[in-house]
Structure 1
Amino acid sequence: MIKISTSTDKKVYFASDQHLGAPTQETSFPREKKFVAWLDEVKKDAEAIFLLGDLFDFWFEYKTVIPKGFVRVLGKLAEIKDSGIPIYFFVGNHDLWMNDYFEKELNIPVYHSPQEFLINNKKFLIGHGDGLGPGDKGYKRMKKVFTFPLFKWMFRWLHPDLGVKLGQYMSVKNKMISGDEDAKFLGEENEWLVLYCKKKLTEQHFDYFIFGHRHLPLEIKLQENSQYINLGDWIKYYTFGTFNGTDFKLTEFN
């Protein structure tokens, strides 16, 4: 478990689901600039920054090639990390093919599954959220295929011009991947991540469960001292989470 202690007037920030590059580089460019503006704002008092996946709508790391673009957000992340502010990155279902580029080039750790953090003596379980809980069996089967080493090896043999174009097309057009239908709250009894969190609470206590993936800003009280938070997205809501060492809140960035 990683421990983080917030200094006076410092905060821990959380954001998820920017989907940069969707549906095209040109149309997502204003969102990239807005997210970079947010990074510029929070770096002023950030103790740490958590990015909970789907920063990119498609990402694949060849041995010597990464998808073209995103220079502003990558440069800003490098600047913030070089200034001494820790950044933690969790892969989502759109950037699950991330390997070691962030770790080697930006010195940002990358996680492929939920992780436990102790922040000011509050226990957090943090992750993207895809494939957790009951249901969603079609996506779970697809994820096993996409993360299978042989499949990734075969995809890497496609020329990047073809591979990236194919990946971008699938990312936008395949609803099992894109989830592009309007996200709506299904009720606690039908929200898979809520059910996942409730099951985890039978095993051990967490003060906060922080996830993305659903594209809905949600704050749900699970127990007297336990909350499920979904961070929303940077397509419709532009919401982010802030933990000041005592309390957690969701805020829209204008």
Structure 2
Amino acid sequence: MQIPQGKKIYFSSDNHLGAPTYAESRPREKIFVEWLDTIKHDAEAIFLLGDLFDFWFEYKTVVPKGFVRTLGKLAELRDSGIQIYFFVGNHDLWMHDYFETELNIPVFHNPKEFTFNNKHFFVGHGDGKGPGDKGYKRMKRVFTNPASKWFFRWLHPDIGVRLAQHLSVKNKLISGDDDKEFLGEEKEWLAQYAKRKLESKHYDYFIFGHRHLPMEIKVGEKSTYFNLGDWINFFTYGVFDGEKFELKEFKE
């Protein structure tokens, strides 16, 4: 994709709307919607890299209530012609076709390659990638098993959603969230994952979420791993202007 003059590509991750409660996440949702409003004038595309919601499950005819300001703003931007791409995270991995059907936003369950202005990007949420984190990787296999989703669907939504929200907040293994302190380049699993990917193919940028910690790490002579941070503590996002990628903080 060639980015038109004056346009940009934006990247965001880890809003966790609904955590720890709907009421407490409402101010953060308001800030995020304001950010979407500020970028709509020059956004060629917006990448949402997962955990937009702290919990999401699509029954055949039911989705979790709430978040109408976010969903409405995304619908507005998509209807205006801005491309939006959604990558599921570990908290909204049970997303299926609701975004595609209602908002015309494609949903990806695995990292994907993109090329913008001859720069090669590898983009995804980042959960379960790289060495270590074996407990979460086992748990993810359980969650993504069709049988698990089938059994969960038979719970009444009032029970299922409440149970899932409790586990999402209380159980670190289920959430898969990492420590929020920088571990050092050799212990940052996504940086190690990026270095392994470079053994088979060149990428200019690796863009991930999940770590809730904005960071920039050189993983090759001409390759950089960026983590987008979150919209809980840092209110950070990424932007590519056609020449370079930068992490920025949104301030009201």
TM bracket, shorter-chain basis: over 0.9
Deviation of 1:200 (Å) = 0.3
What is the aligned length?
251
Equivalent position of 1:187 in the other structure: 184
Pairing of 1:12-161 with structure 2 (within 5 A)? 12-161=9-158
Deviations 1:167-220 (A, max 9, x none): 111110111133567511111111110110000000100000000000000011
Give the residue type in structure 1 aligned to 2:100: E
CA–CA distance in structure 1, aligned partners of residues 21 and 182 of structure 2:
27
CA–CA distance in structure 1, aligned partners of residues 219 and 159 of structure 2:
46
Structure 1 gaps, min length 5 = none
Deviation of 1:224 (Å) = 2.1
Root mean square deviation of aligned Cα: 0.9
Deviations 1:86-130 (A, max 9, x none): 000000000000000000000000000000000111000000000
Deviation of 1:76 (Å) = 0.3
CA–CA distance in structure 2, aligned partners of residues 35 and 44 of structure 1:
16
Please say if residues 11 and 228 of structure 2, whose CA atoms lie closer than 8 Å, have aligned partners that are also in contact.
yes
CA–CA distance in structure 1, aligned partners of residues 218 and 194 of structure 2:
11
Give the residue type in structure 1 aligned to 2:142: V
Deviations 1:214-235 (A, max 9, x none): 0000011112211000000000
Give the residue type in structure 2 aligned to 1:101: Y
Deviation of 1:81 (Å) = 0.3
Tell me which of 227, 231, 234 is aligned to 2:231: 234
CA–CA distance in structure 1, aligned partners of residues 74 and 195 of structure 2:
34
Query: Could you say what secondary structure the match of 1:102 adopts?
Result: helix
Give the residue type in structure 2 aligned to 1:74: L
Ranges of 4+ aligned residues in structure 1 off by more than 6 Å = none
Please say if residues 12 and 228 of structure 2, whose CA atoms lie closer than 8 Å, have aligned partners that are also in contact.
yes
Structure 2 gaps, min length 5 = none
TM-score with structure 2 length normalisation? 0.98
Please say if residues 127 and 176 of structure 2, whose CA atoms lie closer than 8 Å, have aligned partners that are also in contact.
no
Query: Could you say what secondary structure the match of 2:100 adopts?
Result: helix
CA–CA distance in structure 2, aligned partners of residues 102 and 238 of structure 1:
23
TM-score with structure 1 length normalisation? 0.97
